[in-house]
Amino acid sequence: MTAIDGRVPRVEYGTGPAIDWALVARLRATASEQLSEQVSGMQDRLDAPVQQELGRSIIVGLIESEMADRVRAGRPGWSPGEQRALQHAVFDALFRLGRLQSLVDDDEVESVHISGHDKVVLERTDGSVVLAPPVADSDEELIDFLVFLASRSQVNARTFSPAQPRLHMRLDDGSRLAATAWVTLRPEITIRRHRLITAMLPDLVARGLMTPLAASFLAAAVKAHKSIVVTGAQGAGKTTLMRALCAEIDFFEIIGTFETEYELHLHEFPERHLLVRPWEARPGTGELLPDGRQAGEFTLNEELFDSFRFGLSRQIVGEVRGPEIWVMIKAMESGHGSLSTTHSRNARLAIDKLITCAMEAGPHVTEQNAAKKLAQTIDLIVHLDLARHTLPDGTVTKRRRVSEIVSVQRGEGPLGIAFQDVFALDVDRQVAVPNVLPDDFDDLADHGFDLGAFRLLGHREQGDVR
């Protein structure tokens, strides 16, 4: 590892034989064509492992042919080790993430930020930032690979082109990729890895995210079917906390998850949930239909609307970003205890954000109308804070924590919303501690929450009305 300008270290990946990446790109394209031809000629659809084995045999054949051409041309052949390295690189390019694969295989990497083919910044789990080698030989090669990556999914293929210059997709390992090109100076990519997929509330307590009493409160709130919104900045751990909260849902409840790209992965844990129905949005192809919609588009709003006929006990919304808030409100009005996330700087500002989302539905929605509905349907807002600190030696540390848990109720102010800090941040301890518990939450005692311990520790009053 070497330092760049004395500030940002650079890491290297791969110590094997040098790879001709232009050759890899050419062989990947040829292998993809041959694989598509063979698969399309089969009556039965092949599952992924079988396709990969077929692809592997195609790659071996192509490399053997390339080797023969080199020998006939009087050029040196490849050693067995070089052939294996080339086969591995072409396989990764065809079925995995190509030159990006080594980055997401690194358990110490939390986020990958790419600006052009040669500016690769990694955020590591300890909060440090390092630079990685280029992921392509040119911006054009990087864009070409992204186009291929977006199109190859058999389940939810995406279009990435000058007409559709943004790409959001779930990768095979559950990571989330966001990319844009043509509307930026260089292709821009971010990959977010989900490391704590199996984490439960006790695990988050052990990591210092919250106190045991706060975890007990949230577990009881989920069991009591309270509607909860988890807020925080990007990377604060909202999805991780959502999974942990969902783990508190009774095994026999039927759950529906609604996401733009699968991130919660509740359907992958049959030992926790008997039946999970996962919905994933699908972007359009760019072609406009007579009604103004894009052909093939299936939105988060439509996911939620359709779900009301599937006998769900819970509706879990991965993230609220727009007018789909109204369908979420309908779910919360049913009293089933829905959960969702949204980006916000603190719990109270989350309400302002959701009001704005609701007003995007059209001019018929007023600020007062949206606020009234939110006050009626949301019970709790749990806010996650993400803090980064640079130590004297240049090391960056990162800390996530639940900084506040706020109840939402009808109030007498202009917007008719009242807030109460149930757990508020203790600046000295840097953790959310008990404050005041509204009477509406006394029923949590029926779900294992120790009201006496809370009232013994609670000592402040920080409510307000809007």
**Complete DSSP assignment for 149-184:** HHH--SSS----BTTB-EEEEE-TTS-EEEEE-SSS
The pLDDT of residue 3 is above 50 = no
Structure tokens at 398: 């990162």
Q: Residue 389 pairs with which residues in a beta bridge?
A: 397
75-93 per-position pLDDT tens digit = 888 888 888 999 999 999 8
Give yes or no for a contact between 418 and 465, defined as CB atoms under 8 angstroms apart: yes
φ/ψ of 3, rounded to 5, equals -85, 140
CA–CA gap between residue 450 and residue 218 (Å, rounded): 12
DSSP 8-state class, residue 274: S
- pLDDT for 1: 44
The pLDDT of residue 327 is above 80 = no
CA–CA gap between residue 88 and residue 75 (Å, rounded): 22
pLDDT > 70: what percent of the chain? Answer: 90
Mean pLDDT of 432-452: 91
Give yes or no for a contact between 135 and 99, defined as CB atoms under 8 angstroms apart: yes
CA–CA gap between residue 258 and residue 327 (Å, rounded): 11
The secondary structure of 381-422 as a DSSP string is EEEEEEEEEE-TTS-EEEEEEEEEEEEEEE-SSTT-EEEEEE
CA–CA gap between residue 274 and residue 324 (Å, rounded): 27
CA–CA gap between residue 62 and residue 383 (Å, rounded): 54
- pLDDT for 155: 53
CA–CA gap between residue 184 and residue 115 (Å, rounded): 10
Q: Highest-confidence range of 1-10, 107-116, 292-301, by mean pLDDT? A: 107-116
CA–CA gap between residue 80 and residue 84 (Å, rounded): 6
Q: How far apart are the first and last CA of the chain?
A: 53
How many residues are there in the chain? 466
Helix, coil or strand: residue 104: helix
Kindly give, in sequence order, each residue whose CB lies less than 8 Å from that of residue 360, ignoring residues fewer than 6 positions away: 322, 323
- pLDDT for 134: 92
Please name each of the domains of the chain with its CATH number: 1-95 (no CATH), 100-195 (3.30.450.90), 201-284+296-463 (3.40.50.300)
pLDDT band at 8 (very low <50, low <70, confident <90, very high): confident
The pLDDT of residue 2 is above 60 = no
pTM given for the model: 0.78
- Which string of b and e fits 259-268 if b means at least 16 CB within 10 Å? bbbbbbbbee
235-293 per-position pLDDT tens digit = 888 989 999 999 999 999 999 998 887 888 888 888 999 999 998 887 766 676 676 67
pLDDT band at 457 (very low <50, low <70, confident <90, very high): confident
105-125 per-position pLDDT tens digit = 888 888 899 999 999 999 887
| Least confident range of 2-11, 56-65, 306-315, 433-442 | 2-11
C-alpha distances (whole Å) from 34 to each of 30, 43, 83, 180 are 6, 17, 20, 29
145-191 per-position pLDDT tens digit = 999 888 876 556 778 999 889 888 888 777 889 999 999 999 999 99
SS (H, E, C) 201-249: HHHHHHCCCCCHHHHHHHHHHHHCCCCEEEEECCCCCHHHHHHHHHCCC
Structure tokens at 276: 């999970």
CA–CA gap between residue 62 and residue 244 (Å, rounded): 47
Pick the residue with more confidence: 4 or 258? 258
Q: Residue 120 pairs with which residues in a beta bridge?
A: 114, 132
Single-letter amino acid code for the residue at 368: Q
- pLDDT for 358: 85
37-54 per-position pLDDT tens digit = 887 766 566 677 888 888
Q: Which of 101, 24, 100, 87 is nearest to 59 (CA)?
A: 87
Give yes or no for a contact between 305 and 327, defined as CB atoms under 8 angstroms apart: yes
200-212 per-position pLDDT tens digit = 999 999 988 999 9
Q: In whole angstroms, what separates CA 18 from the centre of its chain?
A: 34
